[in-house]
């Protein structure tokens, strides 16, 4: 399977994180649900996103698809990850065994728009994308593990700058990176996908460590 670096940086936002305790987290929310329950930051970012011409173009290319919004706020210590570490793609359809279906599960019309914010308006934990092609013999029983193991130091990478929109396809391989300091990280992603929103308010999210050395 050949994975291509299907992503583009678009433009910076003028929004800042603000008080993290005032943010309501959304899981697979519709535009209406996220605007109603997500808080002012989520509403402001959504309004800004809807005015970006490239986002409107992506919507036009996927008639009948839904805009599904996910937001998360993590309190991190240096070395912690805001999501499961490892190279992977987003919203790849899974089979009955729970494994991503590669390549058939990658929808070429699905697009994702993401932005990261940190407290003090500075970076804390970026998302890193592969910036070169990756050719890998995918193990259907351990899809993302086999992809992760195929990435070597020779593959170019790009970290998403804090406060800048990025758009990417479901086949764009990326991963979370560990926090470089203690602080708060806000994640916003709007996905254009053929899936009905679930409209769930998140009550908590996980943070991850590779060893106990990131402890108290």
CATH of 2-203, one of 2.60.120.620, 1.10.1300.10, 3.75.10.10, 3.90.1150.10: 2.60.120.620
Which residues are registered as beta bridge partners of 27? Answer: 200
The residue whose two tokens read 């996908």 is 193
DSSP string, 82-148: SS--S-B-SS--B-TTSSB-TTTT--TT-EEEEEEEEGGGS-SS-EEEE-S-EE----TTSHHHHHH
Per-residue pLDDT 10s for the chain (216 aa) are 999 999 999 989 989 998 998 999 999 999 999 999 999 999 999 999 999 999 999 999 999 999 999 999 999 999 999 999 999 999 999 999 999 999 999 999 999 999 999 998 899 999 999 999 999 999 999 999 999 999 999 999 999 999 999 999 999 999 999 999 999 999 999 999 999 999 999 999 999 988 765 555
- Domain positions in the chain: 2-203
């Amino acid at each position: 399977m050949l994975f291509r670096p299907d992503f583009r940086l678009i433009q910076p936002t003028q929004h800042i994180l603000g008080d993290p305790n005032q943010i309501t987290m959304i899981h697979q929310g519709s535009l209406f649900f996220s605007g109603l329950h997500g808080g002012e930051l989520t509403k402001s970012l959504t309004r800004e996103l809807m005015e970006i011409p490239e986002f409107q173009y992506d919507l036009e290319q996927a008639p009948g698809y839904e805009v599904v919004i996910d937001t998360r706020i993590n309190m991190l210590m240096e070395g912690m990850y805001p999501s499961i570490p490892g190279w992977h793609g987003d919203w790849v359809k899974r089979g009955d065994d729970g494994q991503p279906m590669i390549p058939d599960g990658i929808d070429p019309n699905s697009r994702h728009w993401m932005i990261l914010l940190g407290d003090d308006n500075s970076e804390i934990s970026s998302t890193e994308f592969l910036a070169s092609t990756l050719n890998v013999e995918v193990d259907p029983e351990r899809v993302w593990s086999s992809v992760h193991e195929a990435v070597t130091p020779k593959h170019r990478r790009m970290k998403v700058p804090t406060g800048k929109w990025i758009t990417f396809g479901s086949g764009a391989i990326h991963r979370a990176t560990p926090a470089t300091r203690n602080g708060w990280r806000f994640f916003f992603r709007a996905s254009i996908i053929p899936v009905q929103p679930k409209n769930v308010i998140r009550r908590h999210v996980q943070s991850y460590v590779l060893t106990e050395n990131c402890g108290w």
